[in-house]
Every structure is written in C-alpha cells, then in structure tokens.
Structure 1
C-alpha cells in the first residue's frame, strides 16, 4: 500500500554524472519510485546492474517513447540540449510532468515548452542548477540588481562541457533581465578592438564562458557601481551529491502548478 502514494519517476540520463547519483537516491527513497530510465549506451539492461542498485528491476530504454510506455508521474530530464527539448515535449504530450536539469536550452525553447505545457495542463519546472548555493546566488543577485547599476557573469566549467554558456548562467542572465535593463557605459558599437572579448549578450547581460581542465562548475556574478563592487560566486566540488536534495524537492513540487516555471526558488518561496 505504501508504494501507491509514491511519485513514479523516469530519469533521462540516468547513467550520467548527475543522473546516476539522483537515480541511486530515488531507488532508496520512501517518497519516490524509480520506474524507468533512459540511456542509449545501456538500453536493454536493468539500471540495477548498471548502477549496482538493489530491489525491483528498473528497465533502461534507448528512447523517450519506449520509456514512457511505463506509467510515470514525472520525467527528470538530465541529458543533452540536442535531445532534451524532444524529451520534454514528448512527455508533456503523454501527460507527464517534467523537471529539467539539462542545460543549454534557450529562452525560445522555453517559450515553446511553456505554451505546450499550458495547453496540455501539465507542469514543467526548469532548474538550471539544483544546488542550494545556486538558488541563493540567484536570489541575492536579483536583490543586488535592484540597487546596483551594472553587472556581468562569468561561467566556469570543465574543458569537456559542450554547451556555452551553461544553463545556470543562462538562467541567471534571464532573471536579471526581469529586474531591470542595464546600460553599458561604452556600448558594443563603440567598443574598439576585438568586440568578442566583451562576452556574449544574453538578455542584456555580458556573459563570459571559461572551459578549462581543473574546473567542475562555477558561476560568478559581479556587480559594479562607482567606487564599489560586489561579487557573488558559487563553486561546485567533484561530487554530484549536492544536486540530489534540490532535485528531490523539484520532483515533489512540479505537480503543484500548471505551465512552466523557471528556477527552484519559484516553488519554494
């Protein structure tokens, strides 16, 4: 009887760096039940043997269409930008709520996803980063933007990260744009030299992405006013465990609204 009240979850990217840690935690949870997983590399196997998980067999599928033949309440999307949007839209159409942990989706992607979620009366919670320190950074940055004139973002990651900027940086730039529009003291058209060194314009914020060996994931927001500056920085370690707590919260909260919400704090305020 206890299992009937559990939220049934499918994890796309369940054998990846973050997805595997989440899958293991769900498997031993008293509130959630992992019923299926998506991993092209391990399709046809059980996730139990891949990740050394005890208990009921968890099938691994190659595609979202196959995975959703197993009834579930929530899809956790933890793959890559190239397939994430297809996974999300397919889940919505099948009546499954979605928690997005994949980075690299654009504002235009989320606009389309939000429209489809509302039309199907489903919920999508897009979380650029599940770490509580990132949730706090976003909140503090929004506060700072109300009072400080200018800001820029530095997005750090390992050399192998293929998307730039990261989902965390995109989300922060979007949220700052909702506070107010900033004006550069020297506009880009009047910038001399190599304009690209000033970073990319993401929703009116200059964003600089570093991709180097030795980094895991870091996010830095720097605010400036005459004679003063403020730096807010999140730094991740090598473990993906800090993301599990936030992901659990997102899974439990995603069904509490209809349409699209962005940011974990949007459901915990």
Structure 2
C-alpha cells in the first residue's frame, strides 16, 4: 500500500512527496522503491526521522494496528495531519486522538476502507437495513490478514446498527454444534470472516425477507483501487479540525 501511495502522489501535480518511511527498506530513493523514477526523496527508517527532516502536511499510514496508534500520535505531535488506513483502533483511542487533533487545530482521518465502491456498499447496506432488518455479513480476505472481522465489516455493521433496532435473528432455540458456526455476534446479526490464499478483499451483505433476499457485494482486486479515495482524503483532511472515523463522512 505504501508503494501505491507513493505512485499516486507522484502522479498528481497538486501533491508533493516530501518523505517516506520503511524500517526495512534501507536508504533507497522512494520513487525507485515504489518501482518508478528517481524522486530525490530517500526512504527514512523511522517516522520521527521523516517528520523532523521534512515539512509534511499529511501522513498516510498503512501499517499494522500495533504501530498505527503510536504513528498517529507522533504525527499529531508534529502538527502533521494523519490519514490512517490501518484498522484496530479502540473507541477510546479514537476519542483521544480526536482531542489531540483539535488541540493542534488539525484534521485527521481513520478509514477502515478507502475504496469508493466499498463505501457505497456500506451506505447502500445501511439504507437497506431500514426496510430489511434481517441481515448477515460475509467478508473474504487473504489468509495473511491479521484481524477478524475486518475493519470494513465492523464499520458496515456499525452503520447497519444505526439504521435498525437490535434484532436477534435465527431460531431462538438454535444451538451451535461447533462453537463459532454462526459467526461473530453484533447487534443481533452475524459477521462471518473467510481467510483463504488467493483471495484479495471482498464483502457481501445479505438481507433476507419473506420470499426474497437482497445481496450487496463489493470486490477489490488490487491495491490501486484504494488510491482515488486516499487522494480525496489527503486533500480533504487539510480543510477541517478533529479526527473523523470513516471515509463516508468526507464524501460529497
């Protein structure tokens, strides 16, 4: 994802690449590291090094949950606006980071998904839940994904829960013969996580009603599909103060 972000920035004349971070890359040119041309920007080994040696406006982070929280705090301390594509933040951490952004007078964004299509899927699912409250989510990712359920499915579930009253689904007397067979429980419905090699990222939201079903599905095939959303986020984060959770809040 970092390489894709570098490519996106270099292709947009309105943006300027001023730093890049990868602890394991070594002192390589960022453009060469991303598979492109020389840029004059050397990849830094630490975030502190990158921020202290550049005049950055925005940090884009696609790391892991264990690192993203500290990276976000560090960026805010430097007055740099965080745009975070890493999931795993707790509600308490999001509240804390929001306050820190407001204290600095800067904007920030944590987005479980930057895909425009995925955001539309979430919005459509929330709309459908008003009329078809019986729903389950099935999300598919590669077997190396670290978290389950995915941040996208959790965000989808949150939006659905806002649109319908809690409704415990299924037969009241049902019994799981194998623990976990019915998936993770959220607000009365279930989230199922599939992890298989060969899969990139897909999600299906299935609604059931009398004599009918409705399926809303989104498929991602490559990382480049997230970049139009990242591009919008990098520009929009310059226009507000405080931390926003969810890309849907900055879509026009």
| Aligned CA distance change for structure 1 residues 187 and 123 (closer, same or farther; 3 Å) | farther
What's the counterpart of residue 105 of structure 2? 121
What's the counterpart of residue 46 of structure 2? 63
**1:54, distance to aligned residue in structure 2 (A):** 2.6
| Aligned CA distance change for structure 1 residues 95 and 187 (closer, same or farther; 3 Å) | farther
1:263 pairs with 2:246 = yes
**1:47, distance to aligned residue in structure 2 (A):** 1.2
Summarize deviations over 1:64-103 as a string: whole Å, max 9, x none.
Answer: 2112112100000111111011111111122111111123
With 80-89 and 160-169 compared, the bigger mean Cα shift is at 160-169
Tell me the secondary structure at the aligned position of residue 221 of structure 1: strand
CA distance in 1, matches of 2:150, 2:68: 14
1:208-219 matches, cutoff 5 A: 208-219=192-203
**1:195, distance to aligned residue in structure 2 (A):** 4.2
What's the counterpart of residue 140 of structure 2? 156
**1:232, distance to aligned residue in structure 2 (A):** 0.6
| Aligned CA distance change for structure 1 residues 212 and 60 (closer, same or farther; 3 Å) | same
CA distance in 2, matches of 1:142, 1:43: 45
CA distance in 2, matches of 1:54, 1:226: 58
Gaps of 5+ in 1: 1-17
Summarize deviations over 1:173-230 as a string: whole Å, max 9, x none.
Answer: 2222222332113488964433422212346542111100121100111112232221
**8 Å Cα contact 1:20-1:51 kept in structure 2:** yes
What's the counterpart of residue 34 of structure 1? 17
Tell me the secondary structure at the aligned position of residue 198 of structure 1: coil
1:241 pairs with 2:224 = yes
Residue 74 (structure 2) aligned to one of 90, 114, 119:
90
**1:116, distance to aligned residue in structure 2 (A):** 2.5
**8 Å Cα contact 1:157-1:215 kept in structure 2:** yes
With 50-59 and 133-142 compared, the bigger mean Cα shift is at 50-59
Q: TM-score, normalized by length of structure 1?
A: 0.85
**8 Å Cα contact 2:81-2:106 kept in structure 1:** yes
| Aligned CA distance change for structure 1 residues 178 and 259 (closer, same or farther; 3 Å) | farther
CA distance in 1, matches of 2:156, 2:218: 12
CA distance in 1, matches of 2:165, 2:179: 21
**8 Å Cα contact 2:30-2:38 kept in structure 1:** no
What's the counterpart of residue 220 of structure 1? 204
| Aligned CA distance change for structure 1 residues 169 and 255 (closer, same or farther; 3 Å) | same
**8 Å Cα contact 2:109-2:246 kept in structure 1:** yes
**8 Å Cα contact 1:158-1:213 kept in structure 2:** yes
Tell me the secondary structure at the aligned position of residue 114 of structure 1: helix
With 169-178 and 64-73 compared, the bigger mean Cα shift is at 169-178
Question: RMSD of the TM alignment (CA)?
Answer: 2.1
CA distance in 2, matches of 1:90, 1:203: 35
Residue 37 (structure 2) aligned to one of 54, 59, 77:
54
**8 Å Cα contact 2:168-2:189 kept in structure 1:** no
Aligned length: 251
| Aligned CA distance change for structure 1 residues 259 and 187 (closer, same or farther; 3 Å) | farther
